[in-house]
Each structure stands twice: as structure tokens, then as C-alpha cells.
Structure 1
Amino acid sequence: MPIGAVSREFLSTNRSICEKDRNTERQGQLRFKPLFVALSLALVLPTAQPYAAESVQGAAMADGADGSELPVVTVTARQGEERAVDVPFGLSVIGGEELEARHLQTAEEALKGTPGVTVNSYGGEPNSANILIRGNGSLNQVSMDDGSVVMIVDGVSMSMRNVSLGTLDVERVEVLKGPQGTLFGGNSQAGAINIVTRKPTRMFEGHVRGEYGQDRQHLEEAVVSGPLSERLSGRFAVRNSGFDHWIESALDGKPLAKPTDLAFRGSLLWDIASGTNMLFTAERHENKRSPRLTMLRPYDDPPSQDFTPGIFDDNRKVVGRYSVEINHDLRDSRVTSITAYTSTDYDSVGGYDRRNMQALYGFPVEYLRKDSSEQKVVSQDLRWTSLPGASVFWVTGLSLSKSERTYDSTYPTGGNRQDRDFKTDSYAAYGEVTYPLGDALKLTGGLRQSWDRKRYDATYYGAGAVQDNRRLSDDYATGRMALSYAVTPHANVYGALSRGYQSGGFSDFATQVADSKPYKPSSSNAVEIGFKTESADRRFALNGALFLTRVKDDHLLGYDPATFSTSTISADTESKGAELEGAWRVGGGFEFSGGLSYIDATITSDAIGALGGDVLAGSRKPDVSRWSGNLAVTHRIPLPEFMGLSSPVLNSRLSYQYVGARPADAQNHFDLRAYRKVDMRIGVVSGNAEIYVYGDNLLDEQYDLFGYWASPTVTQGAPARGRTLGVGAVYYF
């Protein structure tokens, strides 16, 4: 959130911002023509978000110059193992090897490359991420707890504010589309991100990897896994990476910051007895020196900011996860217990540089705000599920979590401070079943009842100290109904109705008692019809869906310049559209994959008093492009022996991504232009080793990461990184 949303201390001593213009362009109803074009193009061109890929080493051995079957994709999208083709709602799966091939080092980067998914992290700041799936998600996030997409890592729920987590040793990322409240509770009304990491193995294996590229991009990674005793296996993974930021300091011409990431994960798998095991996992991820970017548009060439050098050196975020998972197989079912403790420590300085302040207020001064947050969460999930492959899929369970969080803001310029404490206790009971009504027809039903208890205690410091104490209780039900029909042994069609919910809460931006009134909960109803099909020889697969979601009481940040008061304003929204994804192994070592998405997302009610000006019904939802898509081609082919290499294989990938124009804000003051991104990776595999070169953003497009309307003459945002090239090497053992 731009610092202007809470900088009333400075505004109180300067002139008011001019009344903002409104763009009242109203969007019409979704027409059949764009949907028909989208479906037709994807059926002609087998473009879709790829399924989990094989490893470079395995693919080189298996494919050679001939095509082969697409891998069977198994997911845990519903808390139990099943084939992705049998899940009665839309999802995309990105395999770990594909993450490496596409050079996707964080979950955020993986989501940005998925058609129909939007990520706004305000210039890449590691504690700010607003995720929208199929055009659904918070209009403005008013707290760290206010989100419409939940992230699950190895069965442990985490805030989407941690989407900057690295993809270290990840087996797959499952993007679950549409409300997922049945199994994952509140804050999943737009969808869920299910991240599954690799587990310890009974065979000794591992790899080491190194990369170096422009702007001093570097990555060092090592993974080792194998047996420690007859019943105990272990796995350890570590990754260190960093780069010189592509934004320069206007004062000395050096990089504005030099962000680094250090992550490690250790896990132990104990086979206690036949059908019983326990997995212990300890994980830590530390990000340092990532800047908050709020820059004047249009950007300089090269882009620069007028901050004091080193201002971001103390920015830091540390995420820890410690969990114990116990699985016990009964005769026809499985009992799973996951106990977890997660922690997040965050310190960040950001604000307006001298250029921003000169443009906004006529004073070339540096305006800063420091935010600090600590969160500790204890959670327990106990569930009972059918075994993989059972004729009837079912899952039922109980979950609870206790969270304690602080969010403190200090204004070095004005000397004001706010200390805020949040406590949340959540409890839930849930269940879902898919029951066959015949040889081809299946019925799915799911229900979850949740109970949330929230507490807010704050002290606001200005002329004096003011105490603020609030309480909130929220009980709600979410659920899903679906029918699926097997048209052929290789093709399913389905229809689903689902209800999502986003619990009410307290704003992170309250600076006085008048600001801290609890914001309303948000609810959604969604309908989806789709198909999932693959060819008999399993070389071609295609999924498609039509969807409609209506959301009541989505959240916007409000601001009253007369009283300098922030608030949360509600607005209703609607999103409808179509999507396709698939993959095709055509032979000769070639595979095509990609995706195409059309989304018409609008705000359907007025929101008076929103930050930036009133929002009128008919405005397009911010950050959501109507059209987005990608296309990738991979090629694996044996090479003649050279330089003493044994049975070398050329392993290459070229990918293209398109994101259409999208509104910068809810008022539709201006649009962020469409962009195209082309990436490539070319490697030579020999035995257990590969040497490769990679290129990101080969077209060198300077597109916007986000946009913000500050006044009739001032707009802000942040530019993405330009073209970069690098080299890497990996050795598997």
C-alpha cells in the first residue's frame, strides 16, 4: 500500500490534495464472441499452462528424439491424493523441474506466469502481495490478514504475504481456482495456492547448482537426500541468491539496494511401522534489503530514485516453519495429523523520495515510514481421508489455529507512532465427498463451519498516547457442490457451485480510534462449468472452464482528508470469463504448452470516500487484464559427441507471455499498458550434469509492476526488471 494512504501527519501541515478526476466508463455485459474466440484459438493451438514436467536428466534419457506420454499429474488439492483430471474444479499445476527451467525462484514469480492470476506486490516488496485469481481478490488489502487467496505449504496454512518465499526444492505448485473455503477456510474465496515440497527418499540423491548473470545475479543451491538408518530418512536443501537492484540511486548512480535471499529446509521421515510414518520439517527463509518502490511515472532511463544511499539496508523479513506430520493407514482410510508453528519477523523502511515529494507538495524532502511486524501462529489439523485410488473420495477433519501478531508504524519525519496488536483464534470442522452415482456420473458435496475470535489492542502516539481496544466474533459456513461426468475414459465434464468467505477484521492502517472500526466480512458465490480431456495415447491434454463469481462487500481503503481518518469501505464485484490450458508432445523431442484466459471483472456498486476518489459501479477491477496467456515450446534432442561429452542432449525452452492492459486503480484513473515477456533457456545435458544459459525478458520491455494515482498530474508505480542474461550449471548425484 502506498505510503500516501497513511501519511496524514505530513498532509496535516501541507495543502490538501486536489479533488481527483473520475473515470466513469462502465463495462458492458460479457459477450459470447470473446469467449468463442478464446475457446476456438486454444482448440486450434494447443496452448496451456504446462503440467508438471519431468526432470532435465530424466527427460533427456526418456525422450530422445521421440515423443512420449505426458506424466500423470497427482495432486493433493483436496487434502488427499488424486489425479488432477478427477478434481471437479479448475487448477493449474507447475512442477518443480518446470520452476527451475523457467527460472522461477519465488512462488510470486510462478503465479505471475499463470494466465488468469494477478499479483501486485507494489514493486516486489516481500511483505506486500495482493493475489487475484480469475479476477477475484481484495480491491485493497487493509491488513496482513485481509486476503482472498490462502497459501498452504505441506499442509500448513500461511499468509499470502509470504508469497515471496523461494521455490527451494519444491515438488509442485498447485493453483486452485475458485472458492476453496470447504477445505481451507476463510480468506480462500478466490482460490488457494498449494505448495508441496520434496520429501526424504530411501535412495541417496541430490544435486548442486550455481548461476551467475547480469546485475550480479547469483544463485548457489545444494540438496541431499537419503537413508539415515533402516527406518529413518533425511533431506536437506539450501539456497543463497541475490542481485544488484535494477533501480539506481539518483545521488551516486549505484544500485538502490542489493537484495539477498537465504533459505534452507531440513526434513526427517521416520517409518514407524507398516502404514505409519512421521515427517518433521524445519524451514527458514530470510530476505534482506528489498526496497519498497513508489516511483514517479514516466520513469527515468535508467530508472532511479532520490533516496539517501543505504536507506533500505536494514529491511528484513524472516519466515520460519516447523511442522510434524503423522500419517497412519487404517484398512480403508488414512488418519493425518499436522501440528505446526510458523513465525514471521518483518522490518521495512519505505516512503516517498525527494522527487515524489517535490511533485506532490513542492518540498524536495525525504518522507519515510518504518513498519515492523512479528507474527507467531500455532496450528493443528486432524483429518481422516480415503486412500488414494478409492472408488469414493472423502475427507473430513478438524482444524484450529492461534495467531498473535504485531504491526507497528513509526514516522521518522513527523515523530508519530502506532503500536498495534492482533490476536486471532480460529476453529473449524469440515468434510467433502465425491460419490459415484453410476459408471460415469459423480456427485461432490462439501461443507465447513468456522468460528473466528479476534482481538485488537493498540496505542496511538502523537500529542499524547491514546488506547484502543476492540473485539470481534465471526461464525460462518462455506461449501461446494459439483457434478462430473466421464464422457469417455479420457474426458470429463463438470459443473460446480461454491460459496467463499473472507472473515472480518481490523485494519493495519488505523492511526486513531476512529479508524479501527472492524471491517465487514466478504462473501462470494461462484459457478463453474468445465472439461478435462486427454488423448488415448496421453500425448495431448486440454482443460477448459467458464466461470462466474459474485462478491459482496469486497474491501477498499477509505480516506477522509478533512479528518485524516482511514477506514474500510465495502463494494460488490463480479468476475466472469473463460480459460484454457493444455500440453502436447508432438514427437521429435518437441512439446508445446500454454494457457489462455479472458476475464471481465467489474465493480458493481458505488464506493463513496475511497482513497483516490469515489468509485462508481461499472468500473473495472484494478490489476485485472481482460486477456492474458502464454505459450512455451521445449525441445530435447540428442547431439553428436563433442568435447569428450558422453551422449550429450540439447535441452531448450522458449516461452512467451502476454498480459493485456489493466486499470491501475478502482477509480480507473489510468491503465497500465499491455506487455509481452519472452524468456529462454538452452542447456546441454551429459550424464548427470547440465550446463545452460538463460535469458529473462529478452524483448527488454519496461512494463509496470503496479500503478497509483496520486493527483491529476502525478502518477506513480514501479518498473519491472529489463533484459538479463546468465549462465548456470547443475550436477545430479
Structure 2
Amino acid sequence: MPDLEAEETVIHQLPTITVSARGSQTQEDPKDLPFGITRVSGKKLEERGLTSVEDVLRATPGVNVNSSGGANVSTLYIRGVGALYPMSMDDTSVAVNLDGSPLSSRHISLGNLDVEHIEVLKGSQGTLFGGLAEAGAINITTRKPTRHLEGYARGEYGQEGQHLMAGAIGGPLSEQLSGRIAIQQSAFDYPITNLQTGEPVSEPDLLALRGSLMWDFTPETSILASIERQKTRYMGENIVLYPYEDDPVMDVSPDIYDDSHKTVERSSLQIEHEFDNSQFTAVTSYTDGFNTSPVVYDRLIQASRTGNPNATEYWQVQESHEQVLTQDLRLSSLPGAHTFWVGGLSLLHSDRSYDNPRNTYGSSNAQFRDFTTKRYGLYGETTLPLSRDWKLTAGLRHTWDSKTFDATYLSGGTAVGESEALDDNFTTGRIGLTHALTSEVNVYSMLSRGYNPGGFQDYGNAPGTASYRAATSQSAELGFKSAMADQRLTMNGALFYTDVEDNHLLSYDSATYAVSAVNADTRSMGAELQASWHFDSGLTLSGDVSYIDAEITTDAFGIGDGDVHAGNRMPDIPKWSSHLALVYQRQVSPFLGISSPLLNARLDYNYQGARPADPQNSFDLDAYHKIDMRLGVGSGNTEVYVWGRNLLDDHYDLYGYFAPPSTYYGAPAQGRALGLGVNHTF
């Protein structure tokens, strides 16, 4: 007879969910905030196999990523808002923040190292995050040292060269000092076969580590210091000739990516002090990042582009280096205060370079570009109760921007120089109303003004092609949020509209490699719905669905690879995207000597509809369905599990491009992989 008591459902004591959307130390109920939020816990990241921020964003409906698989190339869109084609490393409509300080969106391919949770804030977030958040923001919060000994060790191994080893340990070092160390190493094979070797074209690997110290200086004051380093090797941009279907191939030199590497080193200092009626937070960070990798057009693409079947590969090395110092000082209300408020000032100083020192034919046509940015901001936001059921949210930020650009272009060994400067100041902000229909249901509305600053593009190869204008946006959102008191049923929905003037579009001529800056207006509108239902049986059902209608509303002529016309759809934005998750957790009968086994099963389904590959709407990237699973059995603090990713083995597109007159190329995602893992916590 089975042990019926052992088969009792695990009783879930569901915690109250809070978010830090308006400050790393200010926890709020997401139901009370008048904009859309998607929160993914560190536990879900591990269970779903989302090893990078890019993985998280690709799995979030309403968020889209264009990436060629490299470590330093990505374009982000939220609700259909983002650059048509980014001009530079600091041209983004989505702000990325790590533990309260800015991080370049070009770093989203790096690993999720010891992450507590990731929040996706939808809609303009210009009040707190400035001119790089007209579409939204990504908040990454890592695990901090605690006053008790804790940690974990996790290992995974699977097909397609996939493996991961991760661990962390932390706890008290003295009465006032706590520490934590985390490390992660991972690797995988690109799903592309090199015709010259019969092996994967590259096998990228990543090593990441972080150390943190927390000093409880007094009961009211704490100091957190962190230092982190992540390095990835052999990760290059993949440009693969269509159609690649289920057997993607390239014809390139076997050692083409051997020198590719990216290193990001980051240190931060966070000081907090609690007064009687407010709290002070100071966050200082310094980031030093370097990336080098070739952009490679293999023999197959060169043959297609030139019409010469004997063509050889062409490559151009890209090197980027950035050093960024940021400082944020803020004073805010205490957690749980009747009226939320925050005010502060921020600064960012950036020195960076983006160079092309050599190509297939040598260094006689090299380009060297240096950029500086000084940005200062003054901001404030409040949520003020107007009555028992009504709240007003209002925020405003003013930013001062100063940029310089110096370049040297070589043509046949002859050098031509260029120097430019730009000064700008702008105001962003939002105003919204929240109404409590009941104790469990809120409705809200929000109006926002966003801004994406002008600057100087990274890819210019001739004088007079570098500068581009700022983009401005106006957004409106109307939505509802509901949550039962025990958190077993939550449901959120929103309608949204955004109009962007002078959106950024990089013009590229694939025949001459000439690059220039162009602006065009865009419009995005749509709807989204999120729901989660926890059943007493141990089953949790959750889902998200997003509909976006995004189009270009003005003509842009003179584009290198074809004119862009009003009415074209925004690139990389599917009309429909969705995610469905089934999670089941239950204690089962003893077996194999395990006295009290816990079954933990998870199935995730993601759908992305067809979307245009480029602003010209030359062709569409196909829709795809992605199914992932995880099945684990735990006992005590240890769990053994099997996992499967992309079970349908769909090599969907990471991006696509058309080079006239007849060459289509892109980069495929990883195919099916199955594996085994073990996780131990203490």
C-alpha cells in the first residue's frame, strides 16, 4: 500500500511579493505601482535555465532582443519602443541597472551571477533612470551577505556542450561584518557547423565571480562593498547565410574566434543610513569593460554577395573599451510610509573607445574613435494619497548631457581626423492616478515623457557621418492590477500607446560598408495580460500574453541598403508573444531509500510571432514555439533533476538582415538539448 501521508501536497505559504522598482532599498507592493512590472526570482532563473539577462528578456512577452550571438551586440525593445537600429553602445531605450547603478545594455549576454531577482519595468522610466529609459528599465538585484551561514552548489551537464558550475557561500565574519562569495563557470557550443572542420564554429565559455562585504556600522547605518569580474571567450558575432534551417553552417577559418574575448570588471559601494523619518542611500560604481571580436562574412556569404563562387571570407576586428564612473545620492521615505517620496541627484562620467584596427587586408583602412560622456541628473517622485481610494504619482527629472567625439579614419594609410562636441539638457517625467476599486483590485492610468539623447555613432568611417539627433517620446498607459490577500490568484492587464519622434536608425550599405545616422518617427500601441493561479493541489499555472502594433510613421530615404517607408512595421517586434508555465510540487511515496522525496516539475512554453527583420521590411523572421522542461526530485537540501530546453528543436532566428540584391543572413538560436543537474543548498 502506498504511504498516503507521504503523498500529501506540499502546503505553500505564499510570501508577499515586493519589488524595488523605484529604488534598490524601497520595497513596494507591485499592485500599488501605476505601470507594468514583470518580476523573475533567482529560483525561477535557475529552474528555467535562464543563464543570462538576454535569456530572461527573450522569455518575457512584450520584450524583444536583436542579437547576433556576440558578447557585445544587442538591441532591446519594450512594448515596441526602441531604436530602429542602435547608433552606439550608449544608444538604448531600455535602462539596465545592477544593484541600483547603471550598466550598459551591451552587457546583457553576461551571466546571471548569484541573482536574487530581475525586474522588467515596462513603460517610460525617465524619472529615476533618465534619458536611456524611454521604453522601460531592467533592474538586476544580486544576493547580499546575511547574518547566518548559507550557500549553494549547483552543477549541470547536457548536450551541445552545455555545462554549468555555480556556487556561493556567505555569512557572518564578525559581530558587524558579513561576507559572500559567488562563482560561476559555463560553456556551450554554437549551433553552427564549420564546413572546414565539421565541428562547432566556436565553443564560448564564461567565468564569473563576485565578492561582497556588508558592514553593519551602527543599527541605522550599513555599508556594502562589492567587486565582480566576468570574462567570456570565443563568443563572436554569427552571420550565417539563409536558409540554414536545422543544419546551420559557416565556411570560416577554424581559428577565427580564438582571440575573441570580453571582460567586465565592476566595483561598487553602497551606503545606507536610516533617519527617524527618511532613509539616505548612496551608490557608487565603477565599471571597466573591454571587448574584442571579429565581424565575419564567411565564404558562403561573400560568394552570395559578390556573385563570385571563389570568394574568400572577409572579417573586420571590432574593439571597444569603456570606463564608467556613476554616483547616485538619494533621500527617500521609509518602507511602509503613508506617502512614498524619493529625491536625488546622479552623475555619470564615461570614457570609451570603439575601434576597427584591422581587417582581412591589414590596417591601412583602420578607424579609431574616442567618446566621452558627462551626465548629471536631478530628480524626484512621489505617490501621494488623495483620499482613501485615490493616489497620485508624479515624478520629474532634469538631465544635463555633455559629449565629445574624436576620430581618426585611415584610407589607404592616409589619416583624416574629426572632432565634435554636443551639449544638451532635457526633462523627463510622468504623472499617474491609481484607484482602489476594492482591497484586491486597483486600476491606474499613466502619462509619461521619455527621451533618448543624441550623440555620436560607433561605426562611422568618414567625417560628417557621426552625429545623430535625440529622440523624444510621449506614452500613455491604462491598466489594472489585482491580487488576492493570500497571493494565490493575481492578474494584471494594460493598454499602452507610445509615440516616438526622431527615433534612431543607422544607415548601412553592405556593398561599400558606409555607415551614417538617420532619424525616423515611430508609433507603438497594444495590450498585455498577466495571470498566476496557485492551486491547493500543488499546481501553479501562470501566463503572459502581449499584443503590439508598432510601425514607422515617416519616410527615411537614402538608407544604404534600401529606403524605409512610412507604414512599415518596426523591426524585431512580433504582434503576438506569450509565455505559459505549469509548475507542480508535491511530496511522493518513498523510493530508492529516499524517506521523504519532493517532486518538483516545471514546463514552460514561449511563443513569438513573425516579425520584420529590418526597417525596410525586406523579409520576416518566422514565428516560433519554444518548450522547456525540468523534472526534479529533492530530499532535504539536495535535488537531482533532468532538464530539456527547446524540446521542439526549433533553430529560431536571433536576428536577420538583407543585403541587396539577393543575400539574406541571420543567426540561429540553440537547438534541442537535454541534460542532468544537481543542486545542494545549506
Fold equivalence (TM over 0.5): yes
Deviation at 1:300, TM superposition (A): 6.0
Note the 1:84-483 alignment, pairs <5 A: 84-122=30-68, 124-299=69-244, 301-363=246-308, 364-415=311-362, 416-463=365-412, 464-483=414-433
* Deviation per residue, 1:5-26 (Å, 9 max, x gap): xxxxxxxxxxxxxxxxxxxxxx
Are the aligned partners of 2:31 and 2:481 in contact in 1 as well (CA < 8 Å)?
A: yes
Are the aligned partners of 1:446 and 1:481 in contact in 2 as well (CA < 8 Å)?
A: yes
Q: What stretches of structure 1 of length at least 5 have no aligned partner? A: 1-60
Deviation at 1:414, TM superposition (A): 3.6
Distance 1:452 1:533, change over 3 A: same
Cα distance in 2 for partners of 1:402, 1:702 equals 41
Deviation at 1:562, TM superposition (A): 10
Task: Report percent identity of matched pairs.
Answer: 49
Aligned counterpart for 2:22 among listed residues 73, 78, 81 = 78
**Does structure 1 residue 577 correspond to structure 2 residue 526?**
yes
Deviation at 1:682, TM superposition (A): 0.2
| Aligned residue in 2 for 1:679 | 628
The code of the aligned residue for 1:74 comes to T
* Deviation per residue, 1:510-566 (Å, 9 max, x gap): 1111222x2000010000011110124421000110000000000111247998742
* Deviation per residue, 1:457-485 (Å, 9 max, x gap): 11111231111110000100000100001
**Does structure 1 residue 509 correspond to structure 2 residue 459?**
yes
C-alpha RMSD of the superposition? 1.6
Higher deviation after alignment, 365-374 or 293-302 = 293-302
Are the aligned partners of 1:182 and 1:431 in contact in 2 as well (CA < 8 Å)?
A: yes
Higher relative contact order (CA 8 A, sep 6+): 1
| Aligned residue in 2 for 1:693 | 642
Say how many residue pairs are matched: 671
Cα distance in 1 for partners of 2:235, 2:345 equals 38
Deviation at 1:411, TM superposition (A): 3.8
Are the aligned partners of 1:405 and 1:422 in contact in 2 as well (CA < 8 Å)?
A: yes
Deviation at 1:701, TM superposition (A): 1.2
Secondary structure at the counterpart of residue 301 of structure 2: helix
Superposition TM-score, scaled by structure 1 size = 0.90
| Aligned residue in 2 for 1:497 | 447
Secondary structure at the counterpart of residue 70 of structure 2: coil
Are the aligned partners of 2:324 and 2:351 in contact in 1 as well (CA < 8 Å)?
A: yes
Deviation at 1:721, TM superposition (A): 1.2
**Does structure 1 residue 608 correspond to structure 2 residue 554?**
no
Secondary structure at the counterpart of residue 635 of structure 1: strand
Are the aligned partners of 1:556 and 1:610 in contact in 2 as well (CA < 8 Å)?
A: no
Cα distance in 1 for partners of 2:392, 2:290 equals 44
Deviation at 1:449, TM superposition (A): 0.4
The code of the aligned residue for 1:575 comes to S
**Does structure 1 residue 650 correspond to structure 2 residue 599?**
yes
Deviation at 1:73, TM superposition (A): 1.6
Deviation at 1:246, TM superposition (A): 1.6
Distance 1:232 1:564, change over 3 A: closer
* Deviation per residue, 1:349-399 (Å, 9 max, x gap): 122000100011034211000011110011111000001100000000010
Distance 1:712 1:311, change over 3 A: same
Distance 1:564 1:660, change over 3 A: closer
Distance 1:225 1:62, change over 3 A: farther
**Does structure 1 residue 541 correspond to structure 2 residue 490?**
yes
Distance 1:150 1:675, change over 3 A: same
Q: What stretches of structure 2 of length at least 5 have no aligned partner? A: none
The code of the aligned residue for 1:495 comes to S
Deviation at 1:67, TM superposition (A): 5.6
Question: Where has structure 1 moved over 3 Å in runs of 4 or more?
Answer: 61-64, 66-70, 559-565
Cα distance in 1 for partners of 2:483, 2:326 equals 39
* Deviation per residue, 1:184-209 (Å, 9 max, x gap): 01111011000000110101010111
Are the aligned partners of 1:382 and 1:399 in contact in 2 as well (CA < 8 Å)?
A: yes
Cα distance in 2 for partners of 1:563, 1:315 equals 25
Superposition TM-score, scaled by structure 2 size = 0.96
Cα distance in 2 for partners of 1:187, 1:413 equals 36
Higher deviation after alignment, 528-537 or 590-599 = 528-537
Aligned counterpart for 2:12 among listed residues 47, 57, 68 = 68
Secondary structure at the counterpart of residue 456 of structure 2: coil
Are the aligned partners of 2:526 and 2:547 in contact in 1 as well (CA < 8 Å)?
A: yes
Deviation at 1:331, TM superposition (A): 0.3
**Does structure 1 residue 668 correspond to structure 2 residue 668?**
no
Are the aligned partners of 1:171 and 1:197 in contact in 2 as well (CA < 8 Å)?
A: yes
Cα distance in 2 for partners of 1:187, 1:471 equals 19
Are the aligned partners of 1:68 and 1:539 in contact in 2 as well (CA < 8 Å)?
A: no
Cα distance in 2 for partners of 1:62, 1:598 equals 44
Cα distance in 2 for partners of 1:526, 1:722 equals 38
Aligned counterpart for 2:581 among listed residues 632, 652, 656 = 632
